[in-house]
Chain A
Amino acid sequence: KAGVTQTPRYLIKTRGQQVTLSCSPISGHRSVSWYQQTPGQGLQFLFEYFSETQRNKGNFPGRFSGRQFSNSRSEMNVSTLELGDSALYLCASSFRASSYNSPLHFGNGTRLTVT
């Protein structure tokens, strides 16, 4: 069974631009979550989608948005990029609506660098 696939692996953007990251969950998984990892803040929750509906949102500005398609694939978008948005963005999928007895499976991430 293929794991969680994130594209692209690496991305370099300029301040003020926007970026779209893509995530394909494990087949059959309906929940997709996004996390940001930075050296200073660690792993922080961005948002979660389940069956195309956003269920949870972390404490990030409105420049960060996402969506989920009917095939469970998800995209996240960051508009008006800032230098501080440079991070590893991780996508995780799960079969169930709760992490209880159903741990998240993570992709290898997209490394975004903003210059």
Chain B
Amino acid sequence: DQQVKQNSPSLSVQEGRISILNCDYTNSMFDYFLWYKKYPAEGPTFLISISSIKDKNEDGRFTVFLNKSAKHLSLHIVPSQPGDSAVYFCAASAQAAGNKLTFGGGTRVLVKP
């Protein structure tokens, strides 16, 4: 039972344009959401997070939106840069679960120059 889903396995975008990555979850206990970026042969690196009491969080070129009623979140990257080409993972946690993260399957982003 996949509690966190990223339905788009890949995304291709032109440099300078916006990248939009989507993530859906089913567990109502999730109250904190994170996005990680992963390059080959490296561990995931933290990008941005949002708690369930907010609907938007921005950090530079990265913005995460949360729609609790739809159990949906998205990551916007603008403008996209070639160095953003990587696999992006959405993750969710519940406060009662400590540091346990439930990950989506990932979306591979390719930014074309």
Give chain A's interface residues, CB within 8 Å of chain B.
Answer: 4, 31, 33, 35, 42-45, 48, 50, 55-56, 58, 90, 92, 94, 96-101, 103-109
Contact = CB atoms under 8 A, between A and B. Distances in A.
A109 B89 contact: no
Interface residues of B, number: 26
B33 to A, nearest CB: 10
Contact of A48 (B34, B49, B51, B98): B98
Given A98-B95, A100-B32, A33 B100 contact: yes
A97 B95 CA distance: 10
Interface of B: 31-32, 34, 36, 41-46, 49, 51, 89, 91, 93, 95, 97-106
Given A43-B89, A50-B99, 13 more contacts: A43-B44, A45-B101, A48-B98, A48-B100, A56-B100, A96-B99, A99-B32, A99-B99, A100-B32, A100-B93, A103-B46, A103-B49, A108-B43
Nearest to B35: A103
A92 B44 CA distance: 9
Contacts of B32: 99-100
